[in-house]
Chains A and B, each alone.
Chain A
Amino acid sequence: MTARDEILARLRTALADSPPPVHVPRRYRRVHDRPDLVEVLIDRLEDYRAVVHRGIDALAGLLAEVDRLAVPTDIPADWLAGYAGQVRRDAPPLSPAELDVVDAVLTGCAVAVADTGTIILDTGPAQGRRALTLVPDRHICVVRTDQVVGLLPEALARLDPRAPQTWISGPSATSDIELNRVEGVHGPRRLEVVLVGLDDPLGR
């Protein structure tokens, strides 16, 4: 018998008592009813020591300190308006060594969860490959207010499971040494979020 067939047969034998069907009670909250989602998101992000900026205008100031910037190929042109540094587009794909020497990466996101302060990237528009937001030490992420949801169930409903996903809640951190939180072990040590409202002409 193959291992597969044997394991499946063992498991079927183990269930010889035919456990009855299970009803899954889903009485938990599926939708967040608070009106101030963006404020909640900011509060949670700052609690994780991410730095939050409001309005697309803040981006130019952030980028002014960046010499070499990695970006996905489909980055909105407006985000780079006035940027004078070197832009490294991820086409052809940048090697890990090339990503290791840029100062920052700039991306958008797929959805952000206010309740947990989580930003989700699914390699969709303006997000690029996973390696892009992993190797550089500083991640600048543009989040539109229409991408903000209240609770995790609302976020999952917007996501395509087949796309690889990276969920980010604050910068890389460890608590392994006497449970002291230390930011930045292997992932980006700085996470900066630029929140852009729908009424912002450049936010789209």
Chain B
Amino acid sequence: MNRPGVDRSGTGGAAAPATGSGRIRTPLPFPTAAKPAVADAQLRANLHRATRTIRAKRARVVDEVPDWEALRDAGSAIKADVQRRLPELLEQFEASATAAGATVHWARDAAEACRIVVALTRAAGADEVVKVKSMATQEIELNEALEAAGIAAYETDLAELIVQLGEDTPSHILVPAIHYNRAQIREIFQRRMPDAPPDLSDEPAALAEVARAHLRRRFLSARVAVSGANFAIADTGTLVVVESEGNGRMCLTLPETLISVVGVEKLLPTFTDLEVFLQLLPRSSTGERMNPYTSMWTGVTPNDGPQAVHVVLVDNGRSAVLADPVGRPALSCIRCSACLNVCPVYERAGGHAYGSVYPGPIGAILSPQLTGVADNASLPYASTLCGACYDVCPVKINIPEILVHLRQQAPHPVAEKATMRVLAWVMRSPRRWATALRLARVGAGPLGAYRERRSGARTLRRLPWPASAWTRSRDLPLPAPQTFREWWEKQ
């Protein structure tokens, strides 16, 4: 079996693309992991309210951009170009960043990336770091590695702070504490923040104020900061961080040493390409015209900001994703989280069920590719193939197509095989399928209720046994019949 990072014995010799390690693997099959969330009414209510709110905001600000589709086309093409030229662009980035005074490091896998950050922190003489929210550092489990090395890591994003104090893991890319409501957050603050007032109210403004006070002294005295980056610009060596609270600016500006952990796929060819991505990202993610703060830095600026600037370029399975021409576009993802917010499976199962730092539809295609499909075999099934994720993706990643592609590689769980066979039998015959649909639509037949969730996301709620095992915690989609049937034919 492919084991993370240490697999250098593959067919192509030492340089064969290798799978990744870290928090990208489901410890349990998805249906099992999803069970507690599906049963937790509070959690489902929190998730439902949050995803519905962000969906509406996103739709509103996307609608006011007349050239949205043209921006998506450009974004998608730029990322495809990046993937095609990744080795050369990385070398160009390294040269530009180095010329500007940064030090560039390379990490084959999670463990190597962590070792580099620990060594740099020690060299700076620090025993604590402040961190700005970063998917890459969660992926490589940096906080755990720092702790093991005796270095305290403080998350400074409000949601990450809530999750860290709650000794929990994030459940959403953009709003990591989406699964908590205000009362639960107040409870965590009172339990874990010595400086929280005893009569703390659960008003969001009061909770944010406590977090501000809690972190401010730490910001003003921190010597080392760790960040990720949303984009790394090959022609200038510039790194870009997009955020809301200002904790990012604090981390990127005040400490003496700044270490940025960046996946190799984050490259953009030119500074000008930001004109596309800085339009696509905020509207897709928070549903804002622009996020409150964007920071850009290029190496070291004398007398302004950190004077020791490090960039750790991480592979950790990305070369394995690149090696699959069908799955490759997963590397285009800009982590906007729009696909999570429209996904009927995510809305019910929550982020933790995916077991990876990358939940939702993008996680269902990215994680199995990073680890090797055999190690994450249930994730490609964590979807109804309804296509809503593809519709909202700002860089047009065809997530359903990649899901189907990965399912063909995954070993099928036995029960799933049986239910799939039944579904296949139903769907293979246009007449049976049409009958099933008609029965479903009138709501009287054995196939249960048909419903129109949203435009383009039509789902069947329940199927008869044994298919009921499959639809108990997820809905069966009624996708564009042609493509779906083609797929079933191939099974």
Tell me the A residues contacting B by CB distance below 8 Å: 1-4, 6-17, 19-30, 44, 47-48, 93, 96-97, 100, 113, 115-118, 123, 129-131, 134-135, 152-153, 156-157, 161-180, 182, 184-188
Contact = CB atoms under 8 A, between A and B. Distances in A.
Interface in B297-336: 297-298, 301, 303-305, 313, 315, 319-320, 322-323, 325, 328
B12 interface: yes
B212 A169 contact: no
Interface of B: 12, 14-18, 46, 49-50, 53-54, 66-67, 70-71, 73-74, 77-78, 80-81, 83-84, 86-87, 90-91, 94, 100, 105-108, 112, 156-159, 162, 175-177, 181-182, 185, 204-205, 207-208, 211-212, 215-216, 219-220, 233, 236, 238, 244-247, 249-250, 253-254, 264, 271-272, 274-276, 278-279, 282, 286, 288-298, 301, 303-305, 313, 315, 319-320, 322-323, 325, 328
29 contacts: A3-B112, A7-B108, A7-B315, A10-B17, A11-B90, A15-B84, A15-B87, A19-B325, A22-B81, A29-B70, A30-B275, A93-B303, A113-B290, A116-B289, A130-B253, A152-B278, A161-B298, A163-B298, A169-B291, A169-B292, A172-B292, A178-B50, A179-B53, A182-B208, A185-B158, A185-B244, A185-B247, A186-B216, A187-B249
A186 B245 CA distance: 6
Given A10-B315, A19-B84, A164-B296, A174 B289 contact: no
Contacts of B305: 129-131, 164
A12 B87 contact: yes
Chain B: interface secondary structure? helix
B195 to A, nearest CB: 16
Given A12-B87, A178-B204, A29 B67 contact: yes
Contacts of A130: 249, 253, 295, 304-305
Residue of B86, B289, B297, B322 with most partner-chain A CB within 10 A: B289
Nearest to B52: A179
Contacts, number: 258
Contacts of A6: 14-15, 108
A201 to B, nearest CB: 32
B254 A185 contact: no
A48 B328 CA distance: 38
Nearest to A20: B84
Contacts of A169: 288-293
B278 to A, nearest CB: 6
B265 to A, nearest CB: 10
A171 B319 CA distance: 40
Given A178-B50, A188-B246, 19 more contacts: A6-B15, A7-B315, A10-B16, A12-B87, A13-B16, A14-B323, A19-B80, A20-B84, A24-B81, A25-B77, A129-B304, A161-B233, A164-B304, A166-B293, A169-B289, A169-B292, A176-B175, A179-B54, A182-B204
